[in-house]
Each structure stands twice: as structure tokens, then as C-alpha cells.
A and B are shown apart, each in its own frame.
Chain A
Amino acid sequence: MDILYMLIPLSVVLGLVVLVGLWWAINQGQFDDIEEEGQRILEEDK
């Protein structure tokens, strides 16, 4: 079980990376309009 001593800190680092990614994504406006973008694939190609 010694591997946990590495895995737990690793999971924390990973978690913080995810948070940074989330911060980036939100400020890019990726969550501003959640429904609209999904409908785009139904439209004709332009």
C-alpha cells in the first residue's frame, strides 16, 4: 500500500490541474451557453 503515498499527492496535483483547466474554460466562455452549442451540429454545414 506504499504506493498510496505517491498516489494521494498525485491526485491532489491532478485535482489542482483540473481546477486551473476549469478556470481557463469558464473564462473562455465555454459554459456561457450550454444548450445552443449542442444544437449547432443539427444545422447545415456552412
Chain B
Amino acid sequence: MLSQASHQDKIPTSLLQEQTTGHDHVWRILDTEAQWSGFSQKITTADNTALVESHFLLSGLRCAACAGIIEAGLQKLVGIEKVRVSMSKNRAVITWSPTETKPSSILQAIHDLGYEGNPASHLADQTVIAAKKRAAFWRWMVAGFCMMQVMMYSAPSYFASSGQISSDMYSLLNWASWLMSLPVLLFSSSTFFSNAFQDLKHQRISMDLPVALGILITFIVSSAATFDPSGLWGETVYFDTMTMLVFFLLSARFIEVRMHSKTMGALEALMNRIPESTLKLNVDGSFSRVLNKQLAINDIVKVNIGEAFPADGKIIEGETQVDESLLTGESTPINKHLDDNIVAGSYNLGQSVNVMVEGLGDATQYGKIVNLINQASIEKPRLSRLVDRLAKPFLLFVLMSAGLAAALLWNGDHGHALMTAAAVLIVTCPCAISLATPAAMLASASAFVKRGILIKNLQAIENIADIDTVIFDKTGTLTNDDIQVTHIKPERALTEAQVLSLAASLAKHSTHPISRAIVGKSQLAVLGHTEVALVAIKEQVGLGVQGQLNANNLLRKTIVGQIKLGSALFCETSVTDETSHQVYLADELGLLATFTLQEQLKPLAHETISTIKNNQYSVELISGDQAHTVNNIANTLGISHFLAACNPQDKLARLNVLKQKGKKVLMIGDGLNDGPILASAHVSIAMGKGVPLTHAHADYILLNGDISQIPTLIAQAKKTMQIIKQNISWAIIYNVICIPLAFFGMISAWQAGLGMALSSLFVVFNALRLSRFNAVNQLAGSQG
């Protein structure tokens, strides 16, 4: 191992070394092997040079060309052997020589190219995940390839009449099939076996158990028939059925995992934003850099510009602006003063501050988000609950039929009895029943993705199909974020255009949302906007703006003295209408105009609500906003149940009341204060523009925030459940017909095989109907 000093000696004096930016010292801590081994692994090349392969997370990548720029830029550096940048994963894998360069130089170089790099921590997890992905891909490919080969060897027996194939040839084909089925059994089916084993160990039954049993029995019986065609088990083989079943099931799982990781991939950069190390205040008043793991509550840390805060805490020295988009979704910097609370994972944008640590790791909001995301991404994809419920009776039924067959025939020929039992087990192969759900759900989910609806887990399709209450959040969900001027009422002899121009000329000196709405209105006005020259403009925060007309302005005939735009209090006027949101324009003689403001409803909000209501769902509106605004929106949309001025606890309390009444609630929201209610609702939808925390809690994410998709989404989920039920009934009917036939030996091997293949194909094609997905105004399922 190289010592720290020898690293330093051999650094090439490239351009990079001369530039020292704020980040350099942050990264230097990564230069010891103990540090970089956290995100790197050693590799040895053919000519025995020791190299290191490091993983970095990148931000600032915009297109595939950026990947090229980074690759080309880094490749020029001394000591860098190989660079691979993946745009979709925001990741770089860099192979470098520890004798010639060091991580801080690499990070500095990335910085100089205009991007930000960070060590990809949790490398161990990443390698495990990568290995798992490879293993899953291998299992799937083996099953697919072997299925096709086996099908080729089995095809002759489908078409040949008896005697057309010589028995030598027949056993040769069987042997070939056996050899090609072996990899499927050994590699591909292992997931089913291990799942079934786990289930048995925990004394529960899921669909994996009948599947594993089916695979095993089919293989044993077919092997026996291959090696001893004249023996107890007859001479028919079922390798084609077995490989096909495994391939279909693995395909469904493979697609599901891919979709899931696509949804999760977007959140990865978020999870790695906290730096590995922080400046901590020592007892003697100096700062030293320590790993985040070594921080404790009440420690004081210094956070520099551009760094993310490593922990929750309170500012004890300095003031700054921070980017809390992690929690609020709003990227406008927020001012933080002495004693203000700081959230882990937010960025320091202003200047360096000292923070007292109050919460660390998993206890922070940030830690909770990361945990939620992690949980969601390691969740084992399971066949649906619905099918798992069926698994137990199904398994019992199959085992009992087989047992019964064996018992009834036992007194005669033992061999015949066993063979009949095996035949029953084979024809009841759970292909169709286990494919029924994933096929339908995947078809639907891919249709959702095409419409900009991301789905976190397939289970959510089952959940959204049986809701009976829909709760909307207001701001950002039903309405756009900004407000609009809906009505202008001029006083005295003034025209609407005049008062609007006047108000806008005042309002443009303020950044308040209402001011922006007034300026926006005047710019849009068909009446034409004329700038009114004003002097002595002053804004009183929270109240309004005031100013005076120019000495030679014609309006001076009607308007006297100070002109004020703002609240009723500011304009010294009495409130005329308590039910709406108003601002006033006044001079020293009194009121000049009244502006009524309203939040703008999203397009199609009316249609969406009425469609949902027409389908016998009860609709509620819960908002943190003031009563009169919520009242207005609720009345406009015809929502009779609404709650205003709610904090997250109030929202949760309302949800619990509904839950106790046995209601199944769909919650639709976007803000941070919706997080808890989204997480505990039966099923939830978040807006794509919302906050990452909200995304982590919700089951669906509407990427474009288009709420008119919701009725369609519910309808599609209902249709999906219908198709699943059709599929399952079909599978059950098939079994009910086939078992007696197998029982009495009336069904030949190829007929059973064909039946199984057809029933699986029926299920898959029936499910594919779901991938055509049309907007609806009537929810299909609610009629029948």
C-alpha cells in the first residue's frame, strides 16, 4: 500500500493543480486509501499494474454529449486509464492509477469541465445490485434460449402421427430436450425454488409454491419418461411446457423490475447529495474534517457554500440562503438567519455558516426519504396479493385431487396409480393462474407510463380499483400555483384599463405573488397597457405598495396624493366582500378600484371532478389554505365536503375518521404537508412537479400534473382487475375440466401440453388488450 506522502509526490503538475476552488479542500480528504476504498475497488490489469476503479455520481449532465465531454476531458489527464460515463444513470466509472493521480484531482477535473462529481457511496450495495441484475438477466436469457431449443425438439411430436417417428429418434429428441431443460431447472427456476422455500419456512403459501412444485414434478416425470420410456411414468415428456412456463414467468418479473428501477433511478442523485465528510468544531476552536458517521448530536459543524448540510440542525453563527427543494419542491433560495432550522440534504447557497447538529442519519427528514426510497427499491416483486390468496386453496385442491387419484387406484396397479397422480399434477400446472395477474398489470402499467403516469408498485393497481372516496389537495393539485386577477371594479369615473395600468405600475415594484398577478393581468389585457410614471414608490412588506403621480400627469385631476395598492387595512377602506380574496387601489380621497383575485383552476378540473362524482365516489377537498379561498374553489367545482386551514395532523385526522368508517381513500396531493396523508391513504397520487418526499410516499406520480388523467386511471385499474378476474376464472375452468380427464386417463400428453400452452397464451393475449388505453368519461368498471 502506498503511503499518503508518496501519492502527493507523484501528482502531475497539470493545469488543474494551479486552480484552487472552494471544493478542493473538501475532496482532499478522499485521497487516502481508507477513504477512496468506500467508492472504489482495486483491479489488476494483465501487465500487473495496480489500478483502481472508482464510481462517481455526476450532476449537471444534460444530454449524451455531456457524457462525451467528460470522457474526453478526463481521458487527457495523467494517470487516468479509462472513463465510462453513463448518461441515464448519472454515473461515471473511472479507472485510474493510484501512483499517478488521486480522487481529489479527478473531482477537481470534473468540476473544471463544468459538472459536479461526488463519490458514489454505498458502493457495496451498488455492486450487489449490479450482480443481482446480471443474475436476473442470465436466468431470463437461459430460460428464453432453452425454451426455443426445447420447442424445436418437441415440435415433431406435435405433428407426427403415431409410428411416423422411430422410437430411436423419439428418445434422441427427448434426450436433447432433457439436456436443454437442465439449465432452465438449475439456473432459471432457482428464484421460484428459493421463494417457495422461504415461504415454507415462514409457514405461508404464495403462488411460488405451486409453481415450484409444478416445475419440479413436470421435470421428474419427464426425466423418468426419457430414461425409462417403458417404465412406470409412461413415455411422454413435458419439457416444452416446463421451459415455457419458466420463461413466461421470468419475462413478467424481468419487465416489472426494469420498470421499477426506471422510476427509482431518477431519485438516485437525491440519495447521494450529502457529502461524506464535514468540518467539525474541535474543543480548541479549530475545525477539522471528519466523516459524517463520526458526528454526534450537539456537535458544531461548518458548512461551506455549495455544500449540502449533513444533518438537521440550527444556525448558531452567520446567515445564508439555502435551497430546500428537497422538501418543498421550490428551488427559490430561502433566507436562513440565526436560530433558524436547517434541513439535512438542503444546499447552502449564501455563505458558510456554523450549525449545531440536532438530528442525524435516519432521524432526519432526509434520512427518512432515503429509507423510503431504499425500501421501495429492494421490495421483492411478488405476484399479486389476489393470486397469493388463491394459492392456498389451489394448492390444496391440486394435492387433494392427486392424492385422491392415487388412493382410489392404489388397490389395482401401484404404478398406474402414481402415474395418474402425476398426470393430475401436470395438467394442473399453474401457468395460466400465475400469469393471470402479472400479465394484466404489466400491460396496464406500460400503458400508464406512455401517458406520463409513473407507478411505484403494481399492487397500487389493485388498490386504486376499489376506492370509494377521493380527497384532493388544493394548491398545486386542483389549482395552478399562481393566482390570477378575475375581476376589476373601478370607482369614480375611472375605466378598468386606467386602474389596471395604475395598479400594475405600482405592483411591478413588488415581488409579492399578488403584485405579480396584477402585472401579469395588465400585460395580458386586451385594453392595452400604458405605463404610468410614478414617484416616491415605497413597499410596506405584508401590506402593500404606495407611490405618487408625476406632476404633469393628466390623471391628477381625479387622483389626489398618495396612491396605495394593498390590503383593506393599508388602503384605509372597509372590506366589501369577505368571501373572496381582494386587494384595493386607493388615494387620499378613498377607494379607486377593487381587484378580485382567485387561484386559477387547472384545465379540465371541472370535468375531472364531475366525472369522478358521477361515478358515485365521494369527493372531498382538504387544504391548508384560508377558509374563503377553499370555499370558493369547492363551490366552483361543486365539492360539498371541504376542510380549510388544515395542518398535516388535521389532514391525517380526517383520513383516520374516514378509515374508521371503512372508507378506502384515494389521496391526491403535491406538497410536503401531504406526505403523511399520502403515505397512510389506501392509495395515493402525487404531482410530478411536487416534492421528492411526496414522490417517495405516493403510489402513482402524474408527471405532467394533468389531473384529468385520474378518472381514466381509475377506469383502467378497474378494467385491469376485470381482466385479471377473467384470466383467473379461465384458468380455474381449464383446471376443473382437465383434472377429471387426467383422472380417468382420457387426455393424452400432447393434448394436455397444448391445453396448457393455449391457456397461457389466452391469458397473455387477454391482458394485452389493456395496453390500448383510451380516455374515458365513464368509469368502465362501475357499471358492471
Count of B interface residues, CB-CB < 8 Å = 31
| A 5-24 binary contact with B (CB < 8 Å = 1; else 0) | 10011011001101100110
Known: A9-B176, A12-B176. Is A22-B138 also a contact (CB below 8 A)?
Answer: yes
Contact, CB under 8 Å: A46 / B141? no
Among candidates A12, A33, A35, A36, residue contacting B179 with C-beta atoms closer than 8 Å: A12
Complex alpha-carbon distance, A5 and B180, angstroms = 17
Contact, CB under 8 Å: A36 / B68? no
B183 within 8 Å of A (CB atoms): yes
Count of A interface residues, CB-CB < 8 Å = 26
Among candidates B65, B130, B145, B168, residue contacting A19 with C-beta atoms closer than 8 Å: B145
Contact, CB under 8 Å: A8 / B153? yes
Complex alpha-carbon distance, A42 and B183, angstroms = 38
Contact, CB under 8 Å: B176 / A36? no
Q: Determine the residue in chain A with the shortest Cβ distance to B64.
A: A39
| B 154-176 binary contact with A (CB < 8 Å = 1; else 0) | 00000000000000110011001
How many A-B residue contacts, CB cutoff 8 Å?
64
Known: A8-B153, A11-B176. Is A36-B86 also a contact (CB below 8 A)?
Answer: yes
| Shortest Cβ distance from residue B668 to the other chain A in the assembled complex, whole angstroms | 33
Contact, CB under 8 Å: A27 / B134? yes
B87 within 8 Å of A (CB atoms): yes
Chain B hits for A12, CB < 8 A: 149, 176, 179-180
Main secondary structure of the interface of B (DSSP, over half): helix
Chain A hits for B86, CB < 8 A: 33, 36
B88, B138, B145, B173 interface centre (most CB from chain A within 10 Å): B138
Chain A hits for B268, CB < 8 A: none
Give B42-77 interface residues, CB cut-off 8 Å to A. Answer: 64-65, 67-68, 71-72, 75
Complex alpha-carbon distance, A42 and B71, angstroms = 15
Contact, CB under 8 Å: A22 / B64? no
Complex alpha-carbon distance, A37 and B779, angstroms = 43
Q: A27-B134, A43-B64 known; 20 other A-B pairs, CB under 8 Å?
A: A1-B169, A4-B169, A11-B149, A12-B149, A12-B176, A12-B179, A15-B145, A15-B146, A18-B145, A26-B134, A31-B134, A32-B134, A33-B88, A35-B88, A39-B87, A43-B68, A44-B68, A46-B68, A46-B72, A46-B75
B interface residues with partner A (beta carbon < 8 Å): 64-65, 67-68, 71-72, 75, 86-89, 130, 133-134, 137-138, 141-142, 145-146, 149, 152-153, 168-169, 172-173, 176, 179-180, 183
Q: Could you show 10 A-B contacts with beta carbons less than 8 Å apart? A: A15-B145, A15-B180, A19-B142, A31-B134, A35-B88, A36-B87, A39-B87, A43-B67, A46-B72, A46-B75
